[in-house]
Amino acid sequence: MPGSFDPVTLGHLDVVRRAAEMFDEVVVAVATNVAKRPLLPAAERVALVAAAVAGLPRVRAAEAPGLLVDFCREVGATAIVKGLRSGGDYDAELPMAWMNRHLGVETVFLPADPAVAHIASSLVKDVARHGGRIDDLVPPGVAAVVRARLAQEGT
């Protein structure tokens, strides 16, 4: 399950949990989205994902810095899992799924649970940037790290 995870949210975690019930193993891959400038360094994003999935059997976090399908081959992944919150997500994800299929790896889409479908990493950061409460949108420990990074960014 690849993504930027900047930061990991309860929406991501819901998809991870459900994917873990469908697959032998789930690798949550912190990958590079060239269209985004992340708030958190990759190592920090991996550490937060690792902490969030620590209690989930057969789930682990890893950094996938290059081409996603190369990482899939490295870890023996048979499918890419992505969560979809909306038609907008689908429009963005479909070309990537087509391309990754062309490159040899199929994608499985899971519809977001409506209870967490309002959660997007970009919105979480925006709420935090403006002083709003994000603690109930992200796994434990993540909100403090985001706030600390935002404070650093502002200095």
Tell me the catalytic residues.
12, 36, 85, 121
- In the complex, what is the shortest distance from the CB of residue 54 to ligand PNS, in angstroms, rounded to a whole number? 21
Q: Does 54 bind ligand PNS (CB under 6 A)?
A: no
Distance between the two ends of the chain, CA-based, in angstroms? 34
Q: Does 31 bind ligand PNS (CB under 6 A)?
A: yes
Cβ–Cβ under 8 Å, residues 63 and 38 = no
Residues 69-128 that bind ligand PNS (CB under 6 A): 96, 99-100
Q: Does 42 bind ligand PNS (CB under 6 A)?
A: no
Q: Which residue has the tokens 């919105």?
A: 123
If one counts every other C-beta atom within 10 angstroms of the C-beta of residue 22, the result is: 11
- In the complex, what is the shortest distance from the CB of residue 72 to ligand PNS, in angstroms, rounded to a whole number? 9
Residue type, 6: D
Tokens coding 85? 């919150």
Cβ–Cβ under 8 Å, residues 80 and 107 = yes
Q: Does 9 bind ligand PNS (CB under 6 A)?
A: no
Q: Which residues bind ligand PNS (CB under 6 A)?
A: 2-4, 31-33, 36, 67-68, 96, 99-100
